[in-house]
Amino acid sequence: MTFTAQQIADFLQGEVVGNKDIVVSELSKIEEGRPGTLTFLSNPKYTHFIYTTQADIVLVDRTFVPEQPISATLIKVESAYQSLAKLLTLVDSMKPKKTGVHATAVVSESATVGENVYIGAYAFVGNNVKIGNNVKIYPHVFLDDSVVVGDDSVVYAHVSVYENCEIGKRCVIHAGAVLGADGFGFAPDEQGHYHKIPQIGNVKLEDDVEVGANTTIDCATMGSTLIHRGVKIDNLIQIAHNVEIGEDTALAAQTGVAGSTKIGKRCVLAGQVGVAGHLNIADGSIFGAQTGVSSHIKEAGQIWQGYPAMPVATFHRLSVIQKQLPDLQRKIYDLERQIEAMKTK
């Protein structure tokens, strides 16, 4: 399907600078742009590509002012990145929709299945499962007894959802994720032998949650491990039992959150952040990559870095000092030798 620059601008409420009748049919990266495609510029690091790209249309922020002539037609919008997301959503909505239950899928007679549902090959749907309208269940998915999957959600291949877990509306669960596995609960006896503590809770995902590939979210010991509306969870993340994550919080790859910790709203945890158990994290907290959080974060909206987590300004000062430590060590050794020489005299 093809679109003119003016049609795209109308859809995005943008302004065309250049040939409003130029036609594109595909998307491309700005550094690999080719004729007949649309690309975008949002990161200043890629600005130099806009002067050489072969793409016919480039989405740019309204504030963009070119420093050289540009052959491409520009569409100026409030946010090029957000506008690209709208276009990608439009393109995705035009793909053929999968529907129907594959002959090899196992669906319990007591399960409730909504309208326009797709259930792929070798998927398993247990007793009393409730699947909403327009849900897609891809091949080899395992939905244990009494699982709930809300309207318009997508569960990709090889996902396992344990008994009684709940997935809200418009959620996306990527391949290999596990929801509801037992929390890591063991009680040692006098001899140091560990005895398993039964985990009888579940996992609840509210609406518009996305869970990345091979991520695990453990069930609660009692009650629910709770992921609130709009949370975005990357690949390869571990969320332990009884954790609660607030609305619109984002967690990047390889982050780990220990049991019973409560993370506030609109927080950001970058890659490989580790959060200890039984902590409270204030709303709007931001943690840089590989930060180790070992105590409560009480002040909202602050940026933290390092281990143990410290204010980012302190971390930067410490980083400068650490680089100077070898020179400081040599100076100390020199001073010690001078002092010893003075003592000898």
Residues 4, 235: Cα–Cα separation, whole Å: 37
**pLDDT tens digits, one per residue of 272-309:** 999 999 999 999 999 999 999 999 999 999 999 999 99
Given 93, 128, 149, which residue is the final one in a domain? Answer: 93
**CB neighbour list of residue 101: distance below 8 Å, 6 or more residues apart:** 107, 113, 117, 118, 119
* pLDDT of 230 above 90: yes
Asked whether residue 334 is domain-assigned, the answer is no
Asked whether residue 58 is domain-assigned, the answer is yes
Asked whether residue 124 is domain-assigned, the answer is yes
Give me 117's structure tokens. 């549902």
Asked whether residue 320 is domain-assigned, the answer is no
199 in the same domain as 291:
yes
158 in the same domain as 299:
yes
71 in the same domain as 115:
no
Check residue 286 and give its pLDDT: 98
* pLDDT of 340 above 80: yes
140 in the same domain as 34:
no
148 in the same domain as 259:
yes
Average pLDDT estimate for 98-126: 97
Asked whether residue 17 is domain-assigned, the answer is yes
Asked whether residue 317 is domain-assigned, the answer is no
Active-site residue list: 241
**What is the CATH number for 109?**
2.160.10.10
Q: State the average pLDDT for the chain.
A: 95
Asked whether residue 322 is domain-assigned, the answer is no
Domain that holds residue 143: 100-311
Given 93, 126, 153, which residue is the final one in a domain? Answer: 93
Of the chain, the percentage scoring pLDDT greater than 70 comes to: 100
> What DSSP element (H or E) covers 70?
none
Asked whether residue 233 is domain-assigned, the answer is yes
Average pLDDT estimate for 116-126: 98
Query: Which pTM was predicted?
Result: 0.87
DSSP state of 247: T
154 in the same domain as 276:
yes
Residues 140, 126: Cα–Cα separation, whole Å: 13
75 in the same domain as 129:
no
**pLDDT tens digits, one per residue of 128-183:** 999 999 999 999 999 999 999 999 999 999 999 999 999 999 999 999 999 999 99
75 in the same domain as 192:
no
Contact 187, 193 (CB under 8 A): no
Q: Under DSSP, is residue 48 helix (H, G, I), strand (E, B) or coil?
A: helix
Check residue 344 and give its pLDDT: 83
φ and ψ of 75, to 5 deg: -120, 115
Check residue 93 and give its pLDDT: 83
φ and ψ of 334, to 5 deg: -65, -45
248 in the same domain as 130:
yes
**What is the CATH number for 42?**
3.40.1390.10
Give me 286's structure tokens. 């931001």
Check residue 186 and give its pLDDT: 94
Average pLDDT estimate for 60-80: 95
> How, if at all, do strands 250-251 and 232-233 pair?
parallel
Query: With b meaning 16 or more CB within 10 Å and e meaning fewer, what string describes 84-104?
Result: beebeeeeeeeeeeeeebeee
**How far is CA 203 from each of CA 91, 218, 334, rounded to the nearest angstrom?**
32, 7, 61
Q: Which residues, in sequence order, are bridge partners of residue 238?
A: 216, 256
